[in-house]
């Protein structure tokens, strides 16, 4: 009786183990299939592919085959190859950008090994490992909810709950039709793979609840997203406070790229060194008053493309707040602060060649003209961890230094 009972229990245990193994195998097979489907959706057929020195593959995809056109509302969209107006020059076809003497500009690492032909756009190829690092295939390329700093809220504890920390300058109280800045480029230290550090411009509309509209552009270091610690050009958009809409770069349908030379998500080269050579990038985002689309420019002469106006509710009319500055994710458990750096990893008081800066910050007004902002305010959750200091004057116009090391003797 005892032997029979023992054999029955052993058989049941073996059956349970077999079922568990079968279930795990089925789940793994389903995940592999899901990853392959998503890779096929993201990685469009290339006219030419370029291997970057950093290991990236840049696919030159025909402009009409880019991910934006997976969007149902863009199926019959006619690509607008250039904006009808430009805030630096009024009618774009008369732009000084066309005749301006070319100066050395910030480059991308993949340019060392080639360029994309006309009528194509460069797209960083998504790899299987990129998707496997994400907590789910569905969430790949998306920010977490509530990652935008709300300097008008007194609920700092609530802001810190999601682990995002900021050091920003901002303007609000008017309607804005664009923003510009020249951003110092660094390679901040990232303490953990699921954290990031970025420096960017935010153009915001709506409330900081469930309906926030945001367009974002700048540079970031994000091991989770890219699999390395390289400093990369990025964009982001959302029309529902990071819930179901929007993504980084071209990782979903939305942004329409028209430029064949600059790849979203590609490594920026070279970068600044402490007490050494300094490098910066210029970013301008503005609303075309004729078509209503939001355009982005990188440097002095690379108009990259646009976010169609129909993607947004509040931003279809204009932005109600502009923010410039840094953001990090702090995922340290137990209340200890992360040592992920923001900017150069040094506080604003150290100044040029040591602390990171934004210079020549400007807004685009209702007459489609770039002008200096008024009533600039600053915001940071924990100035002992990351801080911001503004200034004004000289060739830098309105500027600020920002950032910090994270965890230190005054920030723990």
C-alpha 364/C-alpha 292 separation (Å) is 14
Report the candidate in 225, 49, 37 with the shortest Cα–Cα distance to residue 125: 49
Q: How far apart are CA 363 and CA 286, in angstroms?
A: 9
Question: How many other C-beta atoms are found inside a 10 Å radius of the C-beta of residue 156?
Answer: 12
Which of the following is catalytic: 187, 195, 323, 327? 327
End-to-end CA distance of the chain: 63
Q: Catalytic residue among 161, 216, 291, 366, which?
A: 216
* Catalytic site includes residue 327: yes
Which of 37, 194, 193 has its CA nearest to residue 126?
Answer: 37
Q: Phi and psi dihedrals of 86, rounded to 5?
A: -135, 130
Sheet harboring 57-62: ordered strands across?
46-51, 57-62, 120-124
Signed CA dihedral, 335, 137, 295, 284: sign only: positive
Q: Which residues are part of the catalytic machinery?
A: 216, 327
């Amino acid at each position: 009786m005892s032997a029979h009972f023992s054999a029955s229990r052993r058989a049941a245990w073996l059956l349970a183990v077999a079922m568990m193994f079968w279930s795990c195998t089925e789940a793994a097979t389903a995940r592999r299939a899901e990853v392959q489907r998503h890779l096929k959706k993201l990685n469009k057929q290339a006219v030419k592919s370029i291997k970057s020195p950093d290991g990236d593959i840049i696919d030159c995809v025909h402009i009409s085959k880019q991910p934006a056109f997976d969007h149902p509302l863009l199926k019959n969209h006619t690509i607008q190859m250039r904006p009808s107006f430009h805030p630096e020059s009024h009618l774009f076809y008369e732009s000084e950008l066309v005749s301006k003497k070319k100066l050395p500009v910030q480059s991308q690492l993949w340019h060392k090994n080639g360029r994309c032909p006309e009528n194509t756009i460069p797209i960083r190829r998504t790899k299987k490992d990129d998707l496997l690092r994400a907590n789910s295939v569905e969430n790949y390329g998306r920010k977490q909810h509530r990652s935008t700093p709300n300097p008008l809220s007194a609920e700092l504890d609530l802001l810190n709950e999601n682990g995002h920390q900021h050091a920003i300058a901002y303007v609000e109280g008017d309607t804005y039709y664009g923003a510009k800045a020249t951003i110092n480029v660094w390679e901040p230290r990232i303490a953990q793979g699921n954290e990031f550090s970025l420096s960017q411009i935010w153009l915001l509309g709506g409330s900081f609840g469930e309906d926030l509209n945001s367009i974002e552009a700048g540079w970031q270091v994000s091991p989770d997203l890219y699999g390395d610690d390289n400093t990369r050009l990025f964009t982001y958009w959302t029309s529902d406070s990071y819930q179901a809409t929007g993504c980084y770069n071209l990782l979903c349908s939305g942004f329409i790229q028209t430029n064949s030379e600059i790849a979203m998500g590609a490594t920026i080269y070279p970068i600044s060194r402490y007490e050494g050579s300094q490098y910066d990038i210029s970013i301008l985002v503005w609303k075309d008053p004729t078509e209503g689309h939001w355009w982005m420019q990188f440097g002095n002469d690379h108009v990259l493309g646009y976010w169609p106006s129909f993607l947004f509710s509040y931003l279809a009319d204009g932005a109600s707040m502009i923010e410039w500055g840094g953001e990090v994710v702090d995922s340290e458990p137990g209340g200890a602060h992360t040592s992920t750096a923001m900017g150069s990893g040094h506080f604003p008081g150290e100044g040029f060649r040591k602390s990171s800066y934004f210079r020549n910050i400007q807004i685009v007004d209702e007459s489609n003209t770039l002008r200096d902002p008024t009533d600039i305010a600053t915001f940071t959750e924990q100035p002992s961890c990351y801080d911001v200091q503004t200034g004004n004057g000289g060739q830098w116009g309105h500027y600020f230094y920002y950032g910090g090391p994270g965890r230190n003797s005054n920030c723990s």
